[in-house]
């Protein structure tokens, strides 16, 4: 490697970072970067180091980097939104991207400028630490926690306590593979606990004296990817004071038994496959029983929970609670854009009388202007905001009187489309735009599907989720969507062509998960028409309030739908229609360019 002189001319003018832990991370990154650029640290050593610090290489190579910002349970402040807007404008390409794990990431950041970026982020309490790598990843939580009329507990403080316990914890620095934790406040499971290494759902149990106790059910060893596994209940009920010891025990067992020689089989789900669930369960519970002997035993009610509380939002009997979760019917109507937005994007029903509203982000992208505009809204209306796992923002603590003003402000930012739980709200991973593992341009397909749905009046069909991944790894969570696609190479007439596998009927909720059933493979060019055709048939054949999965089962399942789409799985020759051999969003012939995996989302 050529020796480069790294200099940071702006360091003297950079903001102050007052959090000592974040400051120490930045200082170490700068030191390691200087040594790496001087040739004093091997490539593989520096790769592991930067991944642990949330810095991920792009398929473009060179010094192009993706910076992933860790956002526990999606919480973000106005000041943090402003600094994100500043960073994406100054160091990235003018916009950031919300991931399906409630992170915000930015691309094309030059390696030499990472310390500056981390300093700006750190000045507002944001960090990329352990957002990537073989670590405990960003702790997710339901974006409506504390504002949901159905919740058993407000899991916000519990997710924060979990984040505080595991972030920079020596137990989680060199795991066999990544480890993901999700929280949901009720069995609706908006936090998607059912396909994670450890998923936590707030539940209740009846005591002998007839009173009811709120606590948790902990699920383990779930996962998506090329081999999806449903999570399994560790025990029927975990008391509040036992939650963190339980999560630590699961992590310890994973660290001790996870496969370190084969990354492809190094997740918690493979531990269960190899040892059997009963043995994993026995080890976790035995480890938890002896954890009080640890100097870092995390038992009892964590201080942050004691301080903030975890009481549920409750419901108001005078206000009809907005249905929540996958598959719920969404009625769109009204003569004005405001009424349509209100019907789709506003959540009501909490006892404290406040409402929540979604700010829609097309493809999960947020421009610098939108970051700054949202920050101004949060300050002006004095409300709370969180990032959702469907790549939107949700503003919470609103009053009814504030809704028209909020709509006007969001409309000015291009974020007022009625999108929540509508087919317009297509979720996609970054795909071959930046990811080393992606085969196809998933974002390009998402845009193409959106255009077809808008043109045909199908964009506001309610209760149907469309998710797209650029490969089998399911960063776009295609397995749990009503209509899911993942990218694959096709061969036709002797040439490579972009293609997708269509899956139908994925579902997560009510403490269960069903992974989508394979329908058929399609050319990328006809995938938008396939999505539209499925939706047309669903709209024409569904019963009143019938969910997509129920309709699918009634009409014969994915195999029956595949027969109706078979005519779309046809490739003309390159001379007859060259567009079939060009990926969505590209201009040149399709070519697979898959690099070495560093770390999947």
Q: Average of pLDDT values for 342-347?
A: 94
CB 468 within 8 A of CB 445: yes
Q: What count of residues does the chain have?
A: 601
Question: For the segment 353-372, what is each residue's pLDDT rounded down to a tens digit?
Answer: 999 999 999 999 999 999 99
What local confidence, expressed as pLDDT, does residue 545 receive?
A: 87
pLDDT at 419 over 90: no
DSSP H helix total and E strand total for the chain = 16, 22
pLDDT at 3 over 80: no
- Rounded CA-CA distance 179/98 in Å is 20
| pLDDT over 90, % of the chain | 90
Rounded to a whole number of angstroms, the CA Rg of the chain reads 24
Q: What CATH class is the domain 152-308?
A: alpha beta
Question: For the segment 263-286, what is each residue's pLDDT rounded down to a tens digit?
Answer: 889 999 999 999 999 999 999 999
Could you tell me the sign of the dihedral formed by the alpha carbons of 587, 593, 596, 600, in that order? positive
Q: Is the pTM of this model over 0.85?
A: yes
CB 371 within 8 A of CB 84: yes
323 DSSP assignment:
P
Residue 185 pLDDT grade (very low, low, confident, very high; cuts 50, 70, 90): very high
C-alpha 166 chain-centroid distance = 19
Question: Which three-class secondary structure state does DSSP give residue 360?
Answer: coil
CATH number attached to the domain at 427-581:
3.30.413.10
Fold for the domain defined by 317-420? Sulfite Reductase Hemoprotein; domain 2 (3.90.480)
Sheet with 517-523, edge to edge strand ranges? 427-428, 466-469, 483-492, 495-504, 517-523
Domain locations in the chain as residue ranges: 11-74+90-122, 152-308, 317-420, 427-581
152-308 with 317-420: one CATH topology? no
């Amino acid at each position: 490697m050529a020796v480069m002189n790294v200099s940071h001319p702006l360091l003297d003018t950079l903001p102050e970072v007052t959090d000592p832990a974040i400051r120490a991370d930045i200082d170490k990154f700068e030191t390691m970067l200087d040594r790496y650029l001087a040739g004093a640290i091997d490539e593989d050593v520096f790769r592991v180091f930067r991944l642990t610090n949330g810095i991920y290489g792009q398929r473009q190579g060179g010094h192009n980097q993706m910076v992933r910002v860790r956002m526990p349970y999606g919480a973000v402040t106005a000041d943090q939104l402003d600094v994100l807007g500043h960073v994406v404008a100054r160091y990235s390409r003018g916009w950031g991207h919300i991931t399906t794990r409630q992170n915000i990431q930015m691309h094309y950041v030059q390696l030499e400028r990472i310390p500056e970026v981390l300093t700006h982020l750190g000045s507002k309490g944001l960090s990329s630490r352990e957002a990537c790598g073989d670590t405990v990843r960003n702790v997710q939580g339901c974006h409506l926690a504390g504002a949901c009329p159905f919740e058993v507990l407000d899991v916000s403080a519990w997710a924060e306590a979990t984040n505080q316990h595991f972030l920079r914890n020596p137990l989680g620095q060199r795991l066999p593979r990544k480890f993901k934790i999700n929280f949901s406040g009720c069995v609706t499971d908006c936090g998607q606990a059912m396909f994670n290494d450890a998923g936590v759902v707030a539940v209740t149990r009846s005591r002998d004296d007839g009173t009811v106790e709120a606590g948790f059910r902990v699920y383990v060893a779930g996962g998506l990817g090329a081999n999806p596994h449903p999570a399994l209940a560790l025990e029927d009920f975990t008391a509040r004071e036992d939650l963190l010891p339980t999560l630590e025990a699961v992590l310890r067992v994973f660290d001790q038994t996870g496969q370190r020689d084969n990354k492809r089989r190094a997740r918690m789900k493979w531990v269960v496959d190899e040892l059997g669930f009963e043995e994993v369960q026995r080890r976790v519970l035995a480890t938890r029983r002896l954890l009080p002997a640890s100097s870092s035993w995390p038992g009892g009610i964590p201080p942050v929970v004691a301080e903030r509380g975890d009481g549920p939002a409750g419901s108001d009997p005078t206000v009809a609670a907005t249905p929540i979760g996958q598959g719920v019917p969404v009625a769109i109507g009204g003569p004005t854009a405001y009424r349509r937005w209100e019907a789709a994007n506003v959540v009501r029903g909490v006892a404290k009388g406040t409402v929540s509203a979604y700010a829609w982000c097309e493809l999960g992208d947020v421009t610098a202007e939108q970051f700054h505009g949202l920050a101004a809204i949060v300050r002006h209306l004095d409300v709370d905001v969180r990032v959702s796992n469907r790549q939107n923002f949700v503003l919470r603590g609103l009053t009814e009187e504030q809704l028209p003003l909020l709509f006007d402000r969001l409309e000015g930012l291009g974020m007022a489309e009625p999108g929540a739980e509508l087919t317009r709200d297509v979720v996609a991973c970054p795909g071959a735009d930046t990811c080393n593992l992606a085969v196809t341009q998933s974002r390009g397909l998402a845009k193409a599907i959106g255009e077809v749905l808008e043109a045909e009046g199908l964009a506001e069909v309610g209760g149907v989720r469309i998710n797209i991944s650029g490969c089998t790894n399911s960063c776009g969570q295609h397995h749990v969507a009503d209509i899911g696609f993942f990218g694959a190479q096709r061969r036709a007439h002797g040439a490579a062509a972009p293609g997708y596998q269509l899956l139908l009927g994925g579902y997560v909720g009510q403490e269960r998960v069903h992974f989508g059933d394979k329908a058929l493979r399609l050319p990328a060019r006809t995938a938008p028409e396939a999505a539209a055709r499925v939706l047309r048939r669903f709209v024409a054949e569904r019963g009143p309030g019938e969910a997509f999965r129920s309709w699918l089962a009634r009409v014969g399942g994915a195999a029956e739908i595949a027969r109706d789409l078979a005519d779309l799985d046809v490739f003309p020759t390159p001379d007859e229609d060259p567009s079939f051999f060009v990926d969505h969003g590209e201009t040149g012939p399709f070519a697979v360019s898959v690099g070495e995996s560093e770390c999947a989302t």
